[in-house]
Amino acid sequence: MKNESKKTRTECDLLGCVEVPDNVLYGVQTMRGLENFAISKFRLCEYPRFIEGLAIVKLGAAIANHAMGLLSDELFGAISQACREIMAGRFHEFFPVDMIQGGAGTTTNMNANEVIANRALEIMGHARGEYQYCSPNDHVNCSQSTNDTYPSAIHLGLYATHLELRRHLEALIAAFARKGDEFARVLKMGRTQLQDAVPMTLGQTFHGFASVLRGEVDNLDHAAQEFLSINMGATAIGTGICAEPGYAERCTAAIREITGWDVTLAEDLVGATSDTVCMVGYSSAMKRIASKMNKICNDLRLLSSGPRCGLNEINLPPRQPGSSIMPGKVNPVIPEVVNQVAFRVIGNDLTVTIASEAGQLELNVMEPIIVHCLFESIEMLINAMNTLREKCIAGITANEEVCRRMVFNSIGLVTALNPYLGYETSSMLAKEALKTGKGIYDLVLEHKLMSEEELHKVLQPENMVHPRKKIGE
């Protein structure tokens, strides 16, 4: 941690004594975690929702313990104030531990216990480290184990973060829908297998983007709902050892009141303590979104390809010069970066799946990598959604004349004429168009298969992009 004091205080644990900088709220267990787990550049302090989740479960435990006579009024007042301050965003800089750690999250749990205890000591007028007055283990961690507080905090932190992701997803969907409305009259060629298919509107394309993402909102909500089941009171393995009867229910009720969410106690605490499948489910829901965003961004890149030698049906907002050697080149950099986010989210999902499967007996010690992957995926998806919406979707324009010209030059146009001319005649026209390079429109008139007026009516956009009866019926 930066700006640590040269002045120290001595704190001791099972393994011996450690000098702790005097100006920090954490203690000996956090110091050991910092020494042992210099693994990544991702620190707990960068994930405020997780820290808030830790503070919420500690506050819920304190409320239950106080009601059951296990904490004095003074201790309860100080611990609860410390928890609420952390929930309000204070002291997060004192959570410096690596997100990836051994010990099933014990380092994270003790980091929270020490910060809360030392802040409580300050509130009560004692010095940091005077744990005889407020102990990280005996008081802040009373009736708890890492194995119930850590996963419960994860669930609460992830649910809060889910609500943020949901809002950004809905904003992205709305942006696509607005473009769908804007481009409702722009006729273009649809394609299957990268080949000309049948006419459609550019508005239908963008409404399609909105639709496929809209379907993921409910799926995401369903997956997140499982986060509201927690295992507080399970303690070490789900048997509730070191907790008094009724504590689990009291603690859960307190957490439900603190959050305002429908938080429930897991039906089987032994099963819940080792089960991480709810995180697998949420990761999978994010993977679905990432997969769809990846496809959409690939489509945007294809539709904007060119400008002279590609499809060039739409223009993406130019964001930077595209080459150090090719003057005038502008690349689709925003869809490209979203593509890469999608790859990362999909990769994280594999990690989550493997880590969940790796649980053994009464505990899954791989939860730290699971939670890291989930928080990273959510954060990257939020940033990607905002970047795509603000820096790309909002500024897309249509090359309407290019789109229309492609439709009328396309052999795929013959499909719209199939109900009027029949399959054999339409096939003949397609073959001749391929051989001569002529357009279907011109060939129909040349062979006097339809009048110009009839052809014009059939090829009106509104007559080609929806199911309808034959013209003239």
Residue whose structure tokens are 């394309």: 205
CA quadruple 79, 85, 87, 91: dihedral sign:
negative
Tokens of 139: 């008081």
Tokens of 223: 């997956």
In sequence order, the 6+-apart residues with CB closer than 8 A to the CB of 154 are: 50, 53, 279, 367, 371
Alpha carbon distance 310, 7 (integer Å): 66
323 is catalytic: yes
The closest alpha carbon to 236, from 285, 274, 179, belongs to 274
In sequence order, the 6+-apart residues with CB closer than 8 A to the CB of 393 are: 172, 175, 176, 179
In sequence order, the 6+-apart residues with CB closer than 8 A to the CB of 405 are: none
CB-CB contact of 412 with 189 (8 Å): yes
Rounded to whole angstroms, the maximal C-alpha distance in the chain is 100
Residue of 5, 40, 72, 323 marked catalytic: 323
Q: Phi, psi at residue 6, to the nearest 5°?
A: -75, -25
CB-CB contact of 37 with 94 (8 Å): no
Stretch (H or E) spanning 443: helix 440-446
Alpha carbon distance 464, 198 (integer Å): 8
Tokens of 110: 């003790």
For every residue of 423-440, DSSP letters joined together read: HHHHHHHHHHHHHH---H
Bridge partner residues of 195 (DSSP): 192
CA 319 vs CA 329, 331, 335: distances in Å: 11, 8, 11
In sequence order, the 6+-apart residues with CB closer than 8 A to the CB of 157 are: 47, 49, 50, 51, 52, 53, 54, 371, 375
Alpha carbon distance 399, 312 (integer Å): 7
Known catalytic residues are 323
